[in-house]
Amino acid sequence: MLLSATDRCLLALYMGIKGITVKKHWDNPVEHEMPAAARVPAEVRIGAVAVRPATVLAPMAGVTDTVFRRFIRHASLFSSEQSAESGEQGSGAGDQGPEAERIEGAISNLQSGCGLIMTEFTSADGLSRMRESKRRRYLTFYDDEHPIGAQLFGSNPETLAEAARIVEETGFDLVDLNLGCPAKRVVGSNGGSGLLRDLPKIGEIFRAIRKAVTIPFTVKFRTGWSESEIVCVELARMAESEGLNGLALHARTREQGYSGQAQWQWIAAVKQAVGIPVAGNGDIRTPEDAAAMVAETGCDAVMIGRAAPANPWIFRQIAQYTVTGAYEQPAAADRYRMIRAYFEMLLAEAEATKDLPRDARMGDPAGKMKQFATWFTHGVPGGAKLRAAIYHARTGAEVLTEVERFFASRLEGEPESETDAAGEPADLAQAFPEAALLCD
C-alpha cells in the first residue's frame, strides 16, 4: 500500500522519537463477542490499594507521562456531571445522564473507567544516579492520578531496591518491576524480558525490593523467552512466595515481540497457580476483548496498552459495556474535543514547567503533538490533511490552531471523503497500523 509524501515524513518522524519503535499492529486479531457470564471485575485489591474498576493503563515508554495519564483518566470519565466540572477533558462519546449513575453504582465507587495508571518504565540505574531535578521529570504526578504505580527496570538488586525506595518516598501507591520489555537495548543490559532466562537473579531482585519498601510491589512479565522456554507459572509462584502483591502477564514471549496472537491460556495457568491478583495483558482492543479475557482466564484485572492511545475512550467504553452490554463510539465532535483537550494539556504543562531546571522541563510540546497525530486522527475522514498541517507546524500553539481549523467545517456538517486528495488512505495506521510502543 502506497503512502503519501506527507505520511512518509510522519512515519520517519515517528520512528525517530526517543523511546518509540514502530511495530506491527495486531496480527489477524480475533473478534470476540460479549461473554454471557463474565464482566471486568468492579474491584481488585493490590495490597492495601483498591483498584476500582479492575482496569489498568499499561506502562508505555514515551507515552504514559503525567499529561497522557491524566488525559486518559479524564477521557475515561462516565459521569456527565463530573465531566462538566473537569472541563472539556471529561468530554466523551455522548452524554450519559442517568446511565452514568447506573455504571457508577455497578462497577465502582469512582467515576472513571480507568482504575490504575502506570508511569513510563524508568531505569533504576538512571534514577539512582540522576539529579533531583531530573528525577522530577520522570516521577512527576498529580493528586488526581491516584492510584498510580511507578515501573522500574534494571538487573542489579541493590540498585533496584534503592530506586524503589525513591518511588515510595515520592508518594507513589505501588512500585512495579518490568520483566517484559523485549527491546534489544533493554534486554542487552539484562533488563526487561532479558531476565526471564535467569530466575535465580529475579528471586534476588524480588527479595531486595520487597525488603526495601512497604508499599505494594508488583511485577509485569512475559510468558518466557521463547516457546521452548516458558517460565511464567514458575515465575508467578516465585513472586507470590517472595511477598509480591500482584502481577501482570503479557501473554507473549520475548521472541514474539508484538507479533502473532497473545496466548491467553498462560494467563489462565498463572491465575490457577497463585492466590495474588493477576492482571491479563495482550490483544485487548475492545470492551468485548476485555470481557472475553476475563471469561477465558479468570484474571482479576485487565491491563491495556496499545489500544489506549488509539482509542482514549476504551476504559469508559468498558465501563459502559460492563453494565449495559453496549457502548458508544465517538463522533467527530468527541474526537475534536479529545484532540484539543490533550494538546491544551500539553501546552499547559509546558507553560507550568518552563521556569524549572532544564532537566525538569517538558520542553516544546509540538513534538509530542506530532507523535500522537497518527493515533488521534485514526478514523477521522480526511485525517491526512490534519497530519500534514500538524507536521508542518513549528510550535504547539500552531498545532492547536491547525486542529481548530481542520474541525471547523467538519463540525458544521461538511461531508468529507475517507481518502485524501491523491486518493490514498487517509489513515497512516492502515498501512503501518498503529505503532506499538517500546514496552507495553
CATH of the domain at 118: 3.20.20.70
Of 324, 344, 378, the residue that ends a domain is 324
Residues 170 and 239 placed together within one structural domain of the fold: yes
Q: Does any domain span residue 90?
A: yes
Q: Provide the domain count of the chain.
A: 2
pLDDT at residue number 26: 55
What positions carry a catalytic annotation? Answer: 181
Residues 201 and 259 placed together within one structural domain of the fold: yes
Of 270, 300, 324, the residue that ends a domain is 324
Residues 140 and 197 placed together within one structural domain of the fold: yes
pLDDT at residue number 119: 94
pLDDT at residue number 294: 95
CA-closest candidate to residue 339, choices 316, 364, 365, 369: 369
pLDDT tens, the chain, 440 aa long = 343 444 434 333 333 333 334 343 556 666 776 666 678 998 999 999 999 999 999 998 888 888 889 888 877 765 443 333 333 333 333 344 454 455 444 444 345 689 999 999 888 988 878 777 667 667 889 888 999 999 999 999 999 999 999 999 999 999 999 998 887 888 877 788 889 999 999 999 999 999 999 999 999 999 999 899 999 999 999 999 999 999 999 999 988 888 888 999 999 999 999 999 999 999 999 999 999 999 999 999 999 998 898 888 899 999 888 888 888 888 777 888 888 888 888 888 878 777 766 666 666 777 778 777 777 776 678 888 888 888 888 888 888 888 888 888 777 665 444 433 333 333 333 333 333 344 55
pLDDT at residue number 86: 35
pLDDT at residue number 361: 64
pLDDT at residue number 427: 37
Q: Residue 18: is it exposed, middle or buried by C-beta count within 10 angstroms (0-12/13-18/19+)?
A: exposed
Domain that holds residue 424: 5-25+331-430
Contact 209, 251 (CB under 8 A): no
Residues 84 and 128 placed together within one structural domain of the fold: yes
Residues 258 and 354 placed together within one structural domain of the fold: no
Contact 251, 281 (CB under 8 A): yes
Residues 306 and 389 placed together within one structural domain of the fold: no
Contacts of 55 (CB under 8 A, 6+ apart): 40, 113, 114, 115, 116, 290, 301, 302, 303, 304, 315, 318
Q: Does any domain span residue 30?
A: no
Q: List, in sequence order, every residue forming a beta bridge with 174; answer none if it has no partner.
A: 149
Contacts of 67 (CB under 8 A, 6+ apart): 342, 345, 346, 349, 362, 368
39: left (phi over 0), alpha (psi -120 to 50) or beta: beta
Residues 18 and 71 placed together within one structural domain of the fold: no
Q: Does any domain span residue 361?
A: yes
pLDDT at residue number 25: 57
Q: Does any domain span residue 436?
A: no
pLDDT at residue number 15: 36
Residues 309 and 385 placed together within one structural domain of the fold: no
Contact 327, 287 (CB under 8 A): yes
Cell 506527507, located at residue: 6
Of 276, 304, 324, the residue that ends a domain is 324
Integer angstrom CA distances of residue 50 from 219, 299, 320, 363: 17, 16, 20, 34
Q: Does any domain span residue 31?
A: no
CA-closest candidate to residue 318, choices 39, 87, 65: 39
